[in-house]
Amino acid sequence: MEILNYTEEHKIFRDAVRKFIDREVMPHVEEWEEAGIVPKSVWRKMGEQGFLCMSVPEEYGGMGCDFLYSVILLEEMIRTNQSGLFASLHSDVVVPYIISYGSEEQKKKYLPKCVTGEIITAVAMTEPNAGSDLAAMKTTAVTDGDDIVLNGQKTFISNGINCDLVVLAAKDPSVDNPHMAVDLYLVEAGTPGFEKGKQMKKIGWHSQDTAELYFSDCRIPKENLLGVKGTGFLKLMEKLQQERLIACIGSVAGAEYMLDTTIKYCKERIVFGKPLTKFQHTQFEIVEMATEVKLGRAFVEKLIVDHMEGNNIIIETSMGKCWTTEMAFRVADRCLQLHGGYGYCEEYPIARAWRDIRVARIFAGSNEIMKTIAARFMGL
C-alpha cells in the first residue's frame, strides 16, 4: 500500500517537471557550477511553467496546490545533482512566511512576482555568532517615527546574491525578553543601507549563491513588519517544521539518486573479469544501503502525511532531519568508495553528490540541535 496518494494530476505534473529539467536544467548544470550562480532568467522560466510557489492561493497568482506538488518538484530537482536552482527554499521555506503572516497589502505586492520568478526570496536568520541559537542574534530593528532602522550582519544566506526580497529576523533592543524581542521584516534588495557581501566559497553547493548580508542604518517603512510585533520567534518556530521536512525529503531523494547512480556504475564496472555487482561485498553494501534508504523513505512519507494533515510533528521532523541527513551521508560515502578512484574525480556525479550532501547535517538547524529539540519536547 502506498503511503502517499498521488493523483493523475500529480503524475502529469511530475512528467512536466522532468521534461523541463531535461530541457532547461541539465544542459547548463556544469556552467552554473563553474559560475557559482544560476541566472535569474532560469527562475523566471520556472515561474512561467508554474513550478514556483505552487501553494500560493489563486487570488495572488498561484495555483493553491497541495504540498505533494512541492514534494514532487523537490525530488526531481534533487536528481539534477546541482544545488543552485534550489526552488524549494524560495517556494516552501521563505514564501510561506508571507502567505501565513503577511498583510493583505504585502501579499498583493509580493506573492504574484514570487510565483512568476520576478522576485527571488531569501530568509536571513543566521549571524556570525548566532546560528541555531536564534535568541542570541544581534541584528537590531529600532522604530524611528514611521520607519524601522535595521543594523546588523547575516551570514550563510542561500540565494544571497540573487535575492530580490529578504525575510529578515531582527531584535528590538528595547525589549528585554530575547524571544519577544524578535520580529520578521520584509527588506527589498536595493534599499539604501542594505548591501550584499561577496559570494562565499564553499566545499560543496558550488552553484548556490550563498552570501553575507549587511544592514547599516537601513530604513524600511513600519508596514514592512511581517505580522504582529513580538511574535517573530514564534513564527520561525512554526515554519521550521516544514523547513526541516524539506531537508528530510531532499536527503532521502539524494540518497536514492546516489544509490541508483552507484548501482548502474557497479553493473558496468568490470573487475577481475566480472561486474562489481557480482562480488558479494558489493552486493552486501548495496543491500544494506538500499535498506536504509527504504526505511528513510517510509518514515519521511509518513511525516509528509502528518504535516499535510496539520499535525504538530516537531519531535518527529527533528528526529527525521537528523537521521535522514546522517543516512544520506553514509550512503554518499559508501557509494563513493564503491566507485574507487573514479569516485574522487569530478567527471563522476558521485563526487559532487558526496560534497553537496555534507552540509545537510548542518543547515536548517544542526543535527546536534535536532537532538536537543527532540529531547526537550519529549520532556527529558
Is residue 3 a part of any domain in this protein? no
Residues in the chain predicted with pLDDT less than 50, given as ranges, are none
Name the DSSP class of 90.
I
Q: Do 133 and 261 belong together in one domain? A: no
Pairing of strands 182-188, 211-221: unpaired
Owning domain of residue 358: 233-377
**Burial label, 333 (beta-carbon count in 10 A; 0-12, 13-18, 19+):** middle
Is residue 32 a part of any domain in this protein? yes
The grid coordinates of residue 84 equal 543552485
Q: Do 18 and 88 belong together in one domain? A: yes
User: Which sequence positions are flagged as catalytic?
Assistant: 243
Beta-carbon neighbour count of residue 354 at 10 Å?
22
Whole-angstrom distance, CA of residue 68 vs CA of residue 116: 20
Give yes or no for a contact between 95 and 184, defined as CB atoms under 8 angstroms apart: no
Beta-carbon neighbour count of residue 155 at 10 Å?
20
Is residue 245 a part of any domain in this protein? yes
pLDDT of residue 299: 98
pLDDT of residue 1: 65
pLDDT of residue 113: 98
- Write out the H or E segment, with its range, that includes residue 141: strand 140-144
Q: Do 348 and 304 belong together in one domain? A: yes
- Residues 6+ away with beta carbon under 8 Å from 105: 223
Per-residue pLDDT tens over the stretch 245-283: 999 999 999 999 999 999 999 999 999 999 999 999 999
- Write out the H or E segment, with its range, that includes residue 19: helix 8-20
Question: Which pTM value belongs to this model?
Answer: 0.95
What total of structural domains would you count in the chain?
Answer: 3
Residues in the chain: 380
Is residue 37 a part of any domain in this protein? yes
Q: What is the CATH number of the domain that holds 257?
A: 1.20.140.10
- Write out the H or E segment, with its range, that includes residue 45: helix 40-48
Q: What is the CATH number of the domain that holds 25?
A: 1.10.540.10
